[in-house]
A = this chain, B = another copy of it.
Amino acid sequence: RAMSSVARQSLKIGLVPADGIGREVIPAARTAIEALGSDIPKPQFIDLLAGFELFTKTGTALPEETIAALRECDCALFGAVSSPSKRVTGYSSPIVALRKELDLYANIRPVVSVAANPSGKPSVDLVVVRENTECLYVKQETIIATENGREARAVRLITERASRRIGRMAFELALTRPRKHVTIIHKSNVLSVTDGLFRETVRAVPRQEPGKFDDVTIAEQLVDSAVYRLFREPEIYDIMVAPNLYGDIISDAAAALVGSLGLVPSINAGDNFVMGEPVHGSAPDIAGKEIANPIASIRSAALMLRRLGYIQGADRIDNAVDEVVRQGTVLTPDLGGKSKTHEVVDAIIKRI
C-alpha cells in the first residue's frame, strides 16, 4: 500500500517508550498528537514493552507480543534504549532488531536549526538518510581463542538491493527540497568493495528512472572528511546518504551543530510502516528528573504523520515547536533553559 493514500477511520499508534527518558518523552509526543484533533484520524494508542530494563527483569529485550502488536499498528513511536555497561549474554538491542524485523530500511534524520525569525533561513538544514538494516548492524560476530589471545570478527554487509533502495529514498527526498543535492558518504578509499558497491549503486539510481532526477546534483565525501566539513561548512550539505554506521555517527555530529540532541527527530521508514524515534539516547543521568527535552520526540511524531500523508497535522506541530524554540523562554536545561519537560509540552500544546 502507498503510505499516504489510505483513508483511515482511526490511527493505530504503537508506543514503545523503552528505557530512561524514553518514558518521559514518548508520553509528551502522545499529548502533541492528541492535540491535533480532527486533522488526523482518531488516534488509538497501544502501549508496548521493550528495552534493556525489561531484559534485566524478564530476560527479553523485545517480546514477541511487541513485534506482533506493531504489525497491527499503522505507525509507532519508539523512545530510547539503555546500553549495558558490561557485555551481557543474550542481550541484543531491541531498536536494531525492530528496524530489521519491520524492514524499516531508512532512518531519516532532518537536522535543522530554528532561524531567529519566522521568515529567516536556518543556518543548518540537512537530512541524514541512513541505511537502517545492514552494514555492521547485521551483528554477525564471532570470537575464537588463539595462542596469541582472542580474535573477534564482525561482518559488514553491504548489498546492492539495500543500497539501491536507500539511494532511491535519498533522491526522492531531494526532489522535495529547494536545493536538491545529494552527498554520498562512504570510505571507499579503504573499503573499495563494500563502500565501492554502496557508492556506485547510489550513483546509479538516477539511471534507473531516466529524467526523474535530472534536477538533483550529486557529490560525495569520505566519512572522515564529511564529519570535518560538517563542522566547518554545514551549508554544503542538503541530503547526506550513508551506510548504517556512518549515518549513526554523522547524525550525532550534525545534532551538535543545532544546539542539542534533544531537538533532533527521526523516522525509521519502510515501504509499509513508519516508526518515529528521537535521535537522542535514554540519558540515564537525567532520567526521572523531568528535565528531558520532549522536542525530539514531538518532532518525530510530526515526521511520522508527515510520512503518512497528514501534512497539516505535522505542520501544526512543527510550527508550534518552532515558535517555542524561537521565543526561548520555556526550554529544558540542554538548551540553557530552566523548564521542566511538562512545561515545554504545555507551551507547545498551547500553540498547536
Contacts and interface: CB of A to CB of B under 8 A. Distances in A.
A217 interface: no
Which of under 10, 10 to 19, 20 to 34, or 35 or more describes the interface residues of A? 35 or more
Interface string A225-242: 101101110000000000
A152 B199 CA distance: 12
A35 interface: no
Contacts of A261: 228
Contacts of A248: 224
Contacts of A152: 157-159, 193-194, 196-197
B87 A142 contact: no
Contacts of A222: 83
Contacts of A139: 190-192
A93 interface: yes
Contact of A252 (B81, B154, B224, B257): B224
Contacts of A156: 136, 153-156
A223 B223 CA distance: 14
A93 to B, nearest CB: 6
Interface string A130-161: 00000011010111000011111111111111
A307 interface: no
Nearest to A158: B152
A245 interface: yes
A188 interface: yes
A253 interface: yes
A189 B84 contact: yes
B225 A87 contact: no
A168 interface: no
A284 to B, nearest CB: 12
Nearest to A199: B87
A228 B260 CA distance: 9
Interface in A200-231: 200, 222-225, 227-228, 230-231
A30 interface: no
A287 interface: no
Contact of A141 (B136, B191, B227, B230): B191
B151 A157 contact: yes
A256 interface: yes
Given A156-B136, A189-B83, A253 B231 contact: yes
Contacts of A148: 159-161
Nearest to A224: B252
Contacts of A252: 224-225, 227-228
B194 A153 contact: yes
B197 A224 contact: no
21 contacts: A81-B189, A87-B196, A136-B187, A139-B191, A141-B191, A141-B192, A141-B193, A148-B161, A149-B159, A152-B193, A154-B194, A156-B156, A187-B245, A225-B252, A227-B252, A227-B253, A227-B256, A228-B252, A228-B253, A228-B255, A228-B256
9 tightest A-B CB contacts, nearest first: A149-B160, A141-B193, A83-B189, A231-B256, A224-B252, A228-B252, A154-B156, A87-B196, A152-B194
Interface of A: 81, 83-84, 87-88, 91-93, 96, 136-137, 139, 141-143, 148-161, 164, 187-194, 196-197, 200, 222-225, 227-228, 230-232, 245, 248-249, 251-253, 255-257, 261, 281
